[in-house]
Amino acid sequence: MNRHKYRVIIPFLAPAVILYLVFVIYPYGRSMYNSFTSWKGVSANQPFVGLANYVRMIKDEFFWGALWHNIGYLIFLPAIIIFLSLFLAFVISQGVRGSRFYRVTFFFPQVISIISIGVLFSYIYHPTVGVLTSLARFLHMEPFFQLFGFDGIPVWVGDPRTVRMSIGGVVVWQSVGFYMILFLAAMEAIPNSYYEAATLDGASRPRQFWHITIPLLWDTMQTAMVYVGLLAFDMFAITRVIVVSGSSTGRPADVLATYLYEQAFDASRFGYATAIGVAMFILMLTLSALTMRITHREAVEY
């Protein structure tokens, strides 16, 4: 029986395990090593340089710039996305008319590829053709933007001051529907009797939301926060499509992922690029662990 068992186990596991070892485990392990070399990719020899790449990284203002931009996304994206999606989920769960329509429509952006969305929005933001600019002009919003020190209507992705806000806006546009559906699914699992009891006690709907829904949704919100956090650390595709990297507008939009790609595949600094990758890995891991820890509460059971 025992030998018989392994005649199943081994061939069934082999394809997955082999592909995984070769194309996933090996590159990750190799990266850890490469980050200690000054490899340029051309020669077979990979001079070992110890921590030189990491020292260089600490002194590299572009690295810090990119990291700072990731941190900016990390602060704003989870807050805005989770707030909006939670609010929409709450409103829809109140049994509004046409809730089916909203559920389907708000999820739309999630099924369009991020590159299509990027192309779409780079024209929405276009300073001459873009509808955002012509809408702002139509509404005579120039004085409003002048309050913030702009000459008139900002040029969105063309302006270092607004480029990250514009890119972040696209991500919010795309993600809200997804998290709304996620929260709705979790809300529907809450027994109706809780709300009925609260209504009898005279609690208003916003109060019910605050004291019943939120505590019971905490686990899902925590997951959502980790997901959006990881998203804020990525931002590669959307940034690459909306902004020409390396251009004058490229730097203000840099994130670690685009900077890593540029260092590796445009500048051939492979050792340095992998060191940036290791930094990303450590940051993402720490961040996820921190989010779980900070938001940890005794889960409310029902």
Partner 1 sequence: MKRESLNNLVGKLTTGLMYTFLAFWSIVVIFPMAWVIVSAFKSDAEIFMSPWMPPAELMWDNFVRAWSKANIGLYLLNTMTVNLPAIFFTLLFSAMAAYVLSRFDFPGNRLVFYAFLGGMLFPIFLALVPLFFLLNSLHILNSHFGLILVYIAYSLPFTVFFLTGFFKTLPTELLEAATIDGANQLQLFFLIAIPLAQNGLVSMGIFNFLGMWNQYILPLVLLTSNEKYVLSQGLAFLQHQQRYQSDWSGLFAAVVIVMLPTLIVYVVFQNQIQRGLTVGALKG
In this complex, which beta carbon is closest to partner 1, that of residue 117 or of residue 212?
A: 117
Give dist(CA 218, CA 301) in Å, integer: 11
To partner 1, the closest distance from the beta carbon of 221 in angstroms equals 11
For residues 132 to 171, the per-residue mask of contacts with partner 1, x marking binding by CB under 8 A and - elsewhere, is --x-------------------------------------
Q: Which of 122, 162, 166, 291 binds partner 1 (CB under 8 A)?
A: 122
Residues 184-223 that bind partner 1 (CB under 8 A): 185-186, 205, 220, 223
In this complex, which beta carbon is closest to partner 1, that of residue 197 or of residue 282?
A: 282
To partner 1, the closest distance from the beta carbon of 12 in angstroms equals 4
For residues 84 to 113, the per-residue mask of contacts with partner 1, x marking binding by CB under 8 A and - elsewhere, is x--xx--xx-x-x----xxxxxxxxxxxxx
Give dist(CA 89, CA 177) in Å, integer: 9
Q: Which of 119, 197, 267, 299 binds partner 1 (CB under 8 A)?
A: 119
Candidates 170, 127, 147; CA nearest to 136 is: 127
46 binding partner 1? (CB under 8 A)? no
Which part of the chain contacts partner 1 (CB under 8 A), choosing from 54-62, 65-73, 154-162, 229-237?
A: 229-237
Reduce the DSSP state of residue 37 to 3 states and report it.
strand
Give dist(CA 217, CA 210) in Å, integer: 10
Task: Please answer whether residues 181 and 172 qualify as being in contact, where contact means their C-beta atoms are separated by less than 8 angstroms.
Answer: no
Sign of CA dihedral 198, 200, 203, 209: positive
Q: Which of 48, 210, 265, 302 binds partner 1 (CB under 8 A)?
A: 265
128 binding partner 1? (CB under 8 A)? yes
Q: Which of 78, 154, 177, 229 binds partner 1 (CB under 8 A)?
A: 177
Candidates 265, 269, 236; CA nearest to 253 is: 236
CA distance to 157, 236, 237, per residue, from 241 (Å): 11, 9, 6
Sign of CA dihedral 289, 292, 294, 298: negative
